Amino acid sequence: MKFLDRAKVYVRAGDGGNGCLSFRREKYIEYGGPDGGDGGRGGDVWVEAVDGLNTLIDYRYRQHFKAPRGGHGMGKNRTGAGGRPVVLKVPVGTQVFEEDEETPIADLTEVGQRVLLARGGNGGFGNTRFKSSTNRAPRRANPGEAGEERWIWLRLKLIADAGLVGLPNAGKSTFLSHVSAARPKIADYPFTTLNPVLGVVRRGTASFVLADIPGLIEGAHEGAGLGDRFLGHVERCAVLLHLVDATGEDPVAAYRTVRAELAGYGRGLEEKAEIVALNKTDALAPDDLDGIAARFAAETGVEPLRLSGVSGAGVDTAIAMVADAVNARREAEKAGTDTSGEGDDADETAEGWTP
């Protein structure tokens, strides 16, 4: 299934049914009077978060959703039927915005959450509503009101507890495949990951969801490479695991490039808890690795972990640190003092790995 995390959709609620202009006419009843019923209410348009979806691909080929109008009123004081509602089913983690893509309407973070997008029009009054002591035979009925309509943007942000960031070919996919049952594409060239990938990491009896997003390059926040559009999928994370290729030409420059892109993207990502690790250490001699780590710590002020997604060296330590950060955020959420970001725990999407 193709991954789609943004979609523009037009929704229109149903119009209300027209009121009826009718009079009771029966044999032996000389003054039957008005008996026109009211029109039915138009159908509403809702958006609902459901389980089992992880993409907005359903809205790639259908962008218009219209609810049916209410039934017209009829004689004998019969009210028209209400229009059936239309429900847009979206994955958990979907945000709804106005057409300007800036004004939020809803953030659906739990299964079963639903929000009214467009309200159906009220049905018109039949002429029975207008009878009075001075107007015994009203010849007036109202038309139904028009339903609401609007363009909206759906934007999916995957629910993950921790995120993997780094330059292309930093070994993020290899690391994810080692610690979870996820099987992202792995190759010896950049940008093998074109869409975000989720994996469930198990540590003892606990587990958390780890997200791998496509690599960032310099200028990503200005649209270079795949841009920074996928960074939204780690906005809800409690911690970022920043992998730096220890075999690269300049690990310090690589680290600073990604940090600059996080700051350029904004929305609090540069302030999130971060664990930095030098990856691919199995390809370096111990002495060379010591020199690279010492230089990295001296120039960045960050003491990096050392790990290898291929051999598994140092992976347990990194996973333990990530799990501790995730558990701390969960405890803060339970206590109602969460300050690290938005979002709830995600459902498990794959069989995990136990160290």
Find out whether 308 is annotated in a ligand binding site. yes
Distance CA 153, CA 62 (A): 13
Find out whether 96 is annotated in a ligand binding site. no
Find out whether 27 is annotated in a ligand binding site. no
Find out whether 159 is annotated in a ligand binding site. no
Find out whether 180 is annotated in a ligand binding site. no
Find out whether 246 is annotated in a ligand binding site. no
Find out whether 22 is annotated in a ligand binding site. no
Find out whether 310 is annotated in a ligand binding site. yes
Distance CA 207, CA 349 (A): 11
Distance CA 33, CA 35 (A): 7
Find out whether 8 is annotated in a ligand binding site. no
Per-position DSSP letters for 93-142, written without gaps between them: TEEEEETTS-SEEEEE-STT-EEEEEPPPPPPPPGGGG--SS-SS----P
Whether residue 146 contacts residue 224, with contact meaning beta carbons closer than 8 Å, is answered with no
Find out whether 214 is annotated in a ligand binding site. yes
Find out whether 336 is annotated in a ligand binding site. no
Distance CA 71, CA 79 (A): 8
Find out whether 215 is annotated in a ligand binding site. yes
Find out whether 278 is annotated in a ligand binding site. no
Find out whether 195 is annotated in a ligand binding site. yes
Distance CA 221, CA 227 (A): 6
Find out whether 163 is annotated in a ligand binding site. no
Find out whether 42 is annotated in a ligand binding site. no
Whether residue 236 contacts residue 186, with contact meaning beta carbons closer than 8 Å, is answered with no
Whether residue 307 contacts residue 281, with contact meaning beta carbons closer than 8 Å, is answered with yes
Token representation of residue 287: 């002495």
Residue among 319, 10, 39, 338 at smallest CA distance from 154: 10
Token representation of residue 150: 């609007």
Residue among 142, 152, 167, 160 at smallest CA distance from 92: 160
The torsion region of residue 173 among left (phi > 0), alpha (psi -120 to 50) and beta comes to alpha
Find out whether 18 is annotated in a ligand binding site. no
Find out whether 193 is annotated in a ligand binding site. yes
Find out whether 251 is annotated in a ligand binding site. no
Whether residue 253 contacts residue 183, with contact meaning beta carbons closer than 8 Å, is answered with no
Find out whether 192 is annotated in a ligand binding site. yes
Q: Between the CA of residue 337 and those of 81, 93, 267, 268, 331, what are the distances in Å?
A: 48, 21, 19, 17, 9
- List the binding residues for GTP: 166-173, 191-195, 212-215, 279-282, 308-310
Binding residues for Mg(2+): 173, 193
Binding residues: 166-173, 191-195, 212-215, 279-282, 308-310
